[in-house]
Amino acid sequence: MLKAAELKSFRMILESLRARLRGDVTTMADAALRNSGTTASGDLSRMPIHMADIGSDAYEQEFTLSLMANEEETLELVEQALKRIKARKFGVCEECGGAIAKKRLEAIPFAAHCIRCAEKLETGGQFRPRQPR
């Protein structure tokens, strides 16, 4: 179980990460909309002349949207971690109920699973039913 000071430290780290991710998502959304909105609004001054430019613009927009989706997923994980802190369940593996190593939380502060369970999830392994405590 983590101490109150450690929980406060992780909460501050997660809140800072949340603020950064929100800013990143907003910036990426603005960039993606700016690139797609120019032709829709009739502003042809930024319209690429060459077909390769059109393809490059489409690829760049798709790449930005992909990054944005990834950031939004991470933001959701951060939100869930903050909820676990509030519920006093932070640092407890959601699968086996064991402690998540402090080193793991320092590396991935929004981790919801211990290393063993995370490896099983990634490899598609089956979990054993949780043992009553």
> Which residues face 99 on adjacent strands?
92
Q: Which residues lie below 8 Å from residue 32, measured CB to CB, with a gap of 6+?
A: 61, 64, 65, 68
pTM recorded for the entire structure: 0.69
Place of tokens 């930024």: 46
Instruction: Give CA–CA dist 90/8, Å, rounded.
Output: 11
Alpha-carbon span 28 to 67, nearest angstrom: 8
pLDDT of residue 50: 63
Model pLDDT for residues 4-42, shown as the tens digit of each residue: 999 999 999 999 999 988 887 778 777 766 755 444 444
Per-residue pLDDT at 101: 95
41-80 per-position pLDDT tens digit: 444 555 556 666 667 777 777 887 788 888 889 999 999 9
Cα angle value 64/122/83 (rounded, 5°): 70
